[in-house]
Structure 1
Amino acid sequence: LQIAQALEEAHDKGIVHRDLKPQNIKASSEGRAKVLDFGLAKAMDATGSGSSAADFARSPTILNSPTLTAVHGTQLGVILGTAAYMAPEQARGAAVDKRADIWAFGVVLYEMLTGRSLFAGPTVSDTLAGVLKSEIDWRALPAGTPVAIRSLLRRCLERNAKNRLHDIADARIVLDEVLGGGPEEVLPLAAEARPAARTRGWTWGLAAGALGVGLGLGALAFRAAAPPEVATQGAAVHAEFEIATPLATTMVSGLALSSDGRQLAFVARGKDGRTALWVRALGSTEAKELPGTVDARFPFWSPDGRRLGFFAQRRLKVIDLLGGSPRVVAETGSTQDARGGAWSADDRIVFAPTFTGTLFVIPASGGEAVPASRIPAGTDIGTQRFPSFLPDGERFLFFASTGTGIEPGTAYLGRLGSLEAKRLGPVTSSAFYAAPGFLIFVQGDALVAQRFDDGKEELVGDTLSLGVSLPGSVSVSGQRSLAVSANGVLAYRADKRNGTRLVWVDRRGVESGQLNDDDRNWHYAPVLSPDGKRVAVSYYEVGATSGGIWIHDLARRYSTRLTNGESGDDTLPVWSPDGRELAFGRVGPAGTSGIYRMDVGRPGSESRWFSDDGFLAPSAWLTDGTGLLEQRFDASGRGSIWWRSLATQAPPKLLGSEQASEWGAVATLDGRWIAYASDATGRMEVYVRRLDEPSNSPVRVSIDGGVSPAWRGDGRELFYVDDGGRIVAVPFEPSDPPQIGVGVPLFQGGLEEAADRQFDVTADGQRFLLNRNFASPGEPIRVVLGWRERLQQGPQR
């Protein structure tokens, strides 16, 4: 449509392009298609009649054109233009007018719809012969192509210029009407037409949208040769284009395509470090930020494409795209801990409220959330996440794993109304159904498809490569930047640089340096040693799904790996009071999880200290060495804080509420006070309480939500992360009862997984070590229409 508009404007000014082709159609900075390179253009006379090539052969712009051009002094009969897109009269060297541009427009449109070159031959002579004599294969057009578009193409590609469409404005009107959603007539499929050409109306809409605006999004790829048989049974239209990151944002994971493949939702992070939902209609050149979606993660569509579900501010929310503010559907333990959702045909939402345990289901209008699955008997499965529905809206796929990070995940098939699920096979990421009868998922770093027998509910045959590598997604959670619509539109983003930075900032948030130079790797839970000279942190290399413990020596600027992550996922390290040892949590195969202890001077010397059936990690090692605060999570994802005496063999004691979910406990140096986060009020808030007198009631510190507390060295100031991701400082007087001052937001943290310990503070409270997100703005989203054309092809960049 925009190409037609550009030609119309040129023709209205009396200019004929004469070299219209895909290479001369580019994108403006605003994302609109522009027709460039008027090196062969000519001006029409006052009557709009044509002129022969001899009249223009002396033009200096023509002499320097990169296409077939005139030699100085050449007379009538010269050929100018690009052979495959020349009008017949142009190929003969005869007089041309604006109808030559209309022919070229028709060729471009035909090639976009069919995915094949119309006239290209092995030599220029063969190509020109095709332009002049070859019959056009109208059967190659998708069966879903509207009658109006078929008729337009025939009129544009009429070899007799007198019978050809005379004005590009007429083409623009036809395209505008079809894209505007007018009555859609489809010709019956001819008996001799190929089965591969059978498509539905959406195929035309997307292809036309890609033609009209896709060039404003990036490169369009066309495949002329048919791939293997399995690839030719899908949509006849194959096109690829890119969606750039919105201005002043960086892209983060969280792609979601509506079921009809017309709308793409994604999460982007602004300059303030906070995320928000954006929606891009694939027939548009603009993405729009959805108001009220600050801190959003993991979007998913309603079946009708009118609403979006997402997680933000520790809640499952829904927003109507027609207007209105997001509404809360359910409380979750943490926005960061939630692991995706999916919307059923009967208006229910299956979701993972936390990073451990099973899936739950709740009415989209709100209500009680009940289990949607259970942990399969006889397995070490510890987490189920990222559901997606099959077309029937009743059965759903989900990703499950032991949570150790050292074993591949597994795709399961669940069903509403039943807690049982069927194992499908090993996967590295969540899987999506793509009609007809495929599952698409990541295996290793490769994007693959595998046939799915709907009746038997099982995967069939080998995986087939889509020629896409997705390295560096660091998919600890099992999610990749990948989305597939029910009708087979594919969107993905290769997160080649999507890690975290360990950065130093002052109380104003001004950066003063960083510990790591490689932004592709991922860190978790940094903690300063008692003397402030070293940093312990969980470290995930590019593509790894389990982490090891590393130590950074701040003075020597040297890093040492203590564990390699091969035995389990090692996380949440804490220092011993003398700084000689570390304790950390390990999630590993059955019988190996628990709290481990090691001498920091002897890498690989770890041994299990304490064990538990669920998730168990240290939270704080008391300064006097007499006790350990422990963090546990049960199968439902509920967190709890425990106190373990190291001076006796007594069993650990629960601190806090048995009903609330609580975690992140840290203690003052004197061991009298602890701070922690709890959802006792239905929202995560920071509390303090006496550790030496556990019977005392907790005192709330935060006002508008809070997690991840940290003490100043003297225990007279407490820091935490609020709901907006800001670091807040609160004066604290350790009296009885304690005197708590007014919290002051210091700066935007931009932290990774802020619900856990993702920052630490120096003893004087003046410098902060932050584990900040880093996502490169340079990696666009790539959209593929007719993805089966990619099957068994070679790697794509």
Structure 2
Amino acid sequence: MGIEEAIHIASLICKGLKKAHDKGIVHRDLKPSNIILSKEQGVKILDFGLAKLETSLTLSEETQAGTIMGTTAYMSPEQTRGEPASSSSDLWSLACILFEMLTGNHPFKASNTADTIANILKSSPSLESLPSGLPWPTFYLMRQCLQSDPGSRIQSASAADSLLSASLETLRMPITASETQLTTKRSNNFLIFGLGLICSIIGLVVGISFKRPTPVLDLKPDKGNTGKPMKIPIQLGSRSEMSRAQRFSISPDGSQIVYANTVGLWHQSLHSLEPSTLLTRKITQEAFWNPACNAVAYLEGNTLYAHSIETKKRMVVVELSGPVIPNHGGGAWLPNNTIRFNTGDEGIKEVTLHQHGTLRSILDTTDADDNFHDASALPDGRGLLFATHHRNEGIDTLSVWTPETQRKDIFKLPGRILGYPVYSNLGYILFCSILPQSNMQFSKIWAFPFDLETLKKTGPKFLLDEKGGFSLTMSDNNTLVYKLPETKTKSHKLAWLGGAIQEAKYPERGFVRDMIMSMAISPDQSKVAFSTADANSNQIWVHTFESSTSRLVQTSSSVSSFSSILWKDEDHLVYDTWGTDGLFTWEDDLRRSTPPRKISKGLSADLSNDGSQLLAQGLPRWGRHSVINLDEPESEIKVLPENLTDVWAPKFSPSQKFIAFVAGEERKDSSIYLTDYPHGQNRFQVNKGLPGKQPFWHPSKDLLYFIHTKENQNEIYSVTVDTMPDVQLSNPRLEGVLPKSIYLGTPYNPHILEYHEEKKQFLFIEDQTPDSAVFKTIRGNALIIPNWRPRDPFKNPEATDKEASGSLP
């Protein structure tokens, strides 16, 4: 059976299942013999004899004595164990049927029933036998629907049908000859993406679909380059990790790529796009290639490694000493085996292989800098290109370093985060520009002409991709790869969870926000203040629970964001703004008797219960925290001790005897500690053996909550802190499971979950974006543009460096 026909039939089956599932009916015995095809009715699903209403399933009906219901070969793992079936069980059966239509073989069937059940229970099937040219959405559907864990599968027939419909659209999309023509030049050292490679991709890849490309602006192309740019979506990593794939690095010849995600560092060939190979199961900084394209270097913790792609073995190049763990990476590997690499806070270092690890510092940070980001190589070993984070301002500057000129700042865009700069040997620098606190949602890709001899920008910037992207990487033959942003638009609501009091789940009733950044319940528990963001502006709101009304407190342009909303008392809020003039913390009088007061530079992390002590992040530098006495504005700012340099999301306890925080153990940010306040000399680990994040306190007693992620499920735990006679911590106690729709924020805006003492409920931020909004456009998570050219259709002639940053797209 052909690919398109099989997917078409599966789509019709999905539509039938959707009708049943919408009525709460689970089929429980979906198999080929229960499906009839006809020209008049399309697909008809028969034999609902085993079907049950999901809401009517009881323990006695479904699991008594481990009763197995259904036909063995098409049963889900939970059904073979005699457990209740759900709509995801029907989708498992559908995936088995589709697998059989595509390959001619059943994914689990064996010579006898016992072996078939064993195959179903032991693991997911191999998808290698799926036909080449299968669209990525169908490949994703097969992989997810055949997951052993029902919670990891696609949860609705509607979402599954969206994937199948997207696949049919891809298969029916015409590809003209002019759109597939690429240059096939070769040089001695570099392989250029050519027509042969594109053909090999078509034949070998599972998961690439071609989309008819269109220019950003309808202008005439450059002379000699009249073809449209080829844009190839690819999938790097599993779907569960795709939004976390980052730190791309393409080899100089454009044939392969390494990238990082929450699992580790991966290698991916771009010739065949076979499954990625895991290089190291550790958190690493940005990797970079040697000239021979057979090894990469990267920082893992305090150690710089050289890792062979061919042998999969690695060697230690040098170990860094000092208390600061490298927190940013990238670099250049020169032909003479000299390696220049970025460490972030500690500047840029240089070491030569096989010289006993002699380390040299070639560029230190200054008192005006916090760190350097995203270093990439300039050609022929000339130097490095990177982003500079100015202290208490932002990562708003692109810089270059060469041995002759040392550091030189070449471009600044206040109010934006600049990242992933790369040089094209056509004479351009490409980079991405991100709105602060937007979590990559509003990232744009820009470029400007650059003279490598004078190290000067020679023309205005112009927009490359208005739809956005980040983690740019460029090969020597101008193959550009970058990460695609999330396709879904956020849809947030404040929501209650748990508690004995039965009241509306949503405090603001039916009101939906584009994005809620952070929130805080007032000291008297009567109100909640929260910050919101959309494409045009940012706001601070205060919602009163009793009257169910919300009022606007503050608003700003899209380039000045609010976060970390805190209550000083019932009439005063403390928050921070990140805009064109830097990062500042403010105090705002809700009675409007006085204008907003600027407290200091830095990000407002937390306030003590009495409103007198403010924890500020970014003083004296990014990554460090200080305490500001709000009752005595002229008093000295107290920096937390040196042993607390790895603190994230710090929170005062109600008694003000402790600060709880997340520690960056190996940069995993999963260990939660208490430290005594104000001395900060002792540490007490809260969550031994239980990775955690986002700690927050009960409003009136020293009871600490934190979130633990387990098998794609977020659980909330509590720990009681007792100080009589010494500090004692209870074992973590499971409070409940958080909804899958919860929005968990980032380490920079951790105020996303609060406990209401009177209601005995948690207030959280719910992401209401439907699955279909995500699945509808899935065609990969990265984009390859072979033979990139700065063609006129990409240019925005109205964009100049003198324009106000607030007017940028």
Common fold: TM-score over 0.5: yes
Pick which of 534-543 and 513-522 moved more. 513-522
Asked if 2 retains the 8 angstrom alpha-carbon contact of 1:449 and 1:463, the reply is yes
Give the match for residue 39 of structure 1. none
Pick which of 386-395 and 784-793 moved more. 784-793
Give the match for residue 469 of structure 1. 466
* Aligned counterparts of 1:429 and 1:695: Cα–Cα separation in 2: 35
Three-state SS of the structure 1 residue aligned to 2:384 is: strand
Post-superposition Cα deviations, 1:776-797, rounded to whole Å, max 9, x if no partner, equal: 45353332212228543599xx
Question: Which residue, 528, 534, 537 being the options, matches 1:541?
Answer: 534
What letter matches 1:32 in structure 2? Answer: S
Say if 2:755 is the partner of 1:762.
yes
Q: 1:769 to 1:417 in 2, by over 3 A?
A: farther
Say if 2:340 is the partner of 1:389.
no
Equivalences for residues 73-472 of structure 1 within 5 A: 114-115=181-182, 142-144=184-186, 203=194, 206-213=197-204, 217-219=208-210, 232=224, 239-244=230-235, 246-252=238-244, 254=246, 255-266=248-259, 279-288=267-276, 290=278, 293=281, 301=289, 304-306=292-294, 321=309, 322-323=311-312, 338-345=327-334, 346=337, 348=339, 350-351=341-342, 353=344, 359-361=347-349, 373=363, 384-400=372-388, 402=390, 409-415=396-402, 420-424=407-411, 429-442=419-432, 447-463=445-461, 466=464, 468-471=465-468
Q: 1:654 to 1:519 in 2, by over 3 A?
A: same
* Aligned counterparts of 1:213 and 1:580: Cα–Cα separation in 2: 64
Question: Which residue, 636, 652, 658 being the options, matches 1:673?
Answer: 658
Question: Which residue, 744, 754, 771 being the options, matches 1:751?
Answer: 744
Q: 1:330 to 1:400 in 2, by over 3 A?
A: same
* Aligned counterparts of 2:489 and 2:303: Cα–Cα separation in 1: 25
Q: 1:648 to 1:470 in 2, by over 3 A?
A: closer
Give the match for residue 719 of structure 1. 705
What letter matches 1:631 in structure 2? Answer: A
Say if 2:33 is the partner of 1:32.
no
Q: 1:520 to 1:460 in 2, by over 3 A?
A: farther
Pick which of 424-433 and 305-314 moved more. 305-314
* Aligned counterparts of 1:315 and 1:534: Cα–Cα separation in 2: 48
What letter matches 2:467 in structure 1? Answer: L
Asked if 2 retains the 8 angstrom alpha-carbon contact of 1:616 and 1:630, the reply is no
Post-superposition Cα deviations, 1:489-531, rounded to whole Å, max 9, x if no partner, equal: 12342544375856658589xx977989999955544333324
Q: 1:247 to 1:678 in 2, by over 3 A?
A: closer
Question: Which residue, 553, 565, 573 being the options, matches 1:582?
Answer: 573
Q: 1:362 to 1:676 in 2, by over 3 A?
A: farther
* Aligned counterparts of 1:558 and 1:402: Cα–Cα separation in 2: 37
Asked if 2 retains the 8 angstrom alpha-carbon contact of 1:504 and 1:513, the reply is yes
Asked if 1 retains the 8 angstrom alpha-carbon contact of 2:133 and 2:202, the reply is no
Three-state SS of the structure 2 residue aligned to 1:209 is: helix
Give the match for residue 720 of structure 2. 731
Post-superposition Cα deviations, 1:657-703, rounded to whole Å, max 9, x if no partner, equal: 46744453322323333323456999864333443x74874434343
Asked if 2 retains the 8 angstrom alpha-carbon contact of 1:399 and 1:411, the reply is yes
Give the match for residue 485 of structure 1. 475
* Aligned counterparts of 1:206 and 1:433: Cα–Cα separation in 2: 24
What letter matches 1:788 in structure 2? Answer: R
Asked if 1 retains the 8 angstrom alpha-carbon contact of 2:410 and 2:457, the reply is no
Q: TM-score, normalised by structure 2?
A: 0.58
Q: TM-score, normalised by structure 1?
A: 0.59
Three-state SS of the structure 2 residue aligned to 1:251 is: helix
Three-state SS of the structure 2 residue aligned to 1:439 is: strand
Post-superposition Cα deviations, 1:474-502, rounded to whole Å, max 9, x if no partner, equal: xxxxxx25332232112342544375856
Asked if 2 retains the 8 angstrom alpha-carbon contact of 1:536 and 1:573, the reply is yes
Question: Which residue, 710, 717, 723 being the options, matches 2:696?
Answer: 710
Give the match for residue 22 of structure 1. none
Asked if 2 retains the 8 angstrom alpha-carbon contact of 1:31 and 1:285, the reply is no
Over aligned residues, Cα RMSD in angstroms?
A: 5.5
* Aligned counterparts of 2:410 and 2:472: Cα–Cα separation in 1: 22
Asked if 1 retains the 8 angstrom alpha-carbon contact of 2:349 and 2:363, the reply is no
* Aligned counterparts of 1:352 and 1:514: Cα–Cα separation in 2: 45
* Aligned counterparts of 2:629 and 2:688: Cα–Cα separation in 1: 30
Say if 2:665 is the partner of 1:651.
no
- Report percent identity of matched pairs: 15
Q: 1:585 to 1:469 in 2, by over 3 A?
A: closer
* Aligned counterparts of 2:666 and 2:347: Cα–Cα separation in 1: 23
Asked if 2 retains the 8 angstrom alpha-carbon contact of 1:316 and 1:331, the reply is no
Asked if 2 retains the 8 angstrom alpha-carbon contact of 1:664 and 1:757, the reply is yes
Q: 1:540 to 1:341 in 2, by over 3 A?
A: farther
Post-superposition Cα deviations, 1:176-206, rounded to whole Å, max 9, x if no partner, equal: xxxxxxxx9x9xxxxxxxxxxxx95554663
* Aligned counterparts of 2:658 and 2:679: Cα–Cα separation in 1: 10
Asked if 2 retains the 8 angstrom alpha-carbon contact of 1:465 and 1:792, the reply is no
Shift of 1:576: 1.8
Shift of 1:740: 0.9
Q: 1:690 to 1:736 in 2, by over 3 A?
A: farther
Three-state SS of the structure 1 residue aligned to 2:746 is: coil
Give the match for residue 624 of structure 1. 610
What letter matches 2:793 in structure 1? Answer: Q
* Aligned counterparts of 1:420 and 1:538: Cα–Cα separation in 2: 38
Asked if 2 retains the 8 angstrom alpha-carbon contact of 1:440 and 1:447, the reply is yes
Post-superposition Cα deviations, 1:84-137, rounded to whole Å, max 9, x if no partner, equal: x9xxxxxxxxxxxxxxxxxxxxxx99868745xxxxxxxxxxxxxxxxxxxxxx
* Aligned counterparts of 1:792 and 1:313: Cα–Cα separation in 2: 43
Paired residues, number: 590
* Aligned counterparts of 1:514 and 1:248: Cα–Cα separation in 2: 31
What letter matches 1:667 in structure 2? Answer: F
What letter matches 1:351 in structure 2? Answer: N
Q: 1:292 to 1:548 in 2, by over 3 A?
A: farther
Three-state SS of the structure 2 residue aligned to 1:33 is: coil
Give the match for residue 144 of structure 2. none
Post-superposition Cα deviations, 1:687-735, rounded to whole Å, max 9, x if no partner, equal: 33443x7487443434357664311234342224579897553232232
* Aligned counterparts of 1:221 and 1:279: Cα–Cα separation in 2: 28
Q: 1:288 to 1:700 in 2, by over 3 A?
A: same
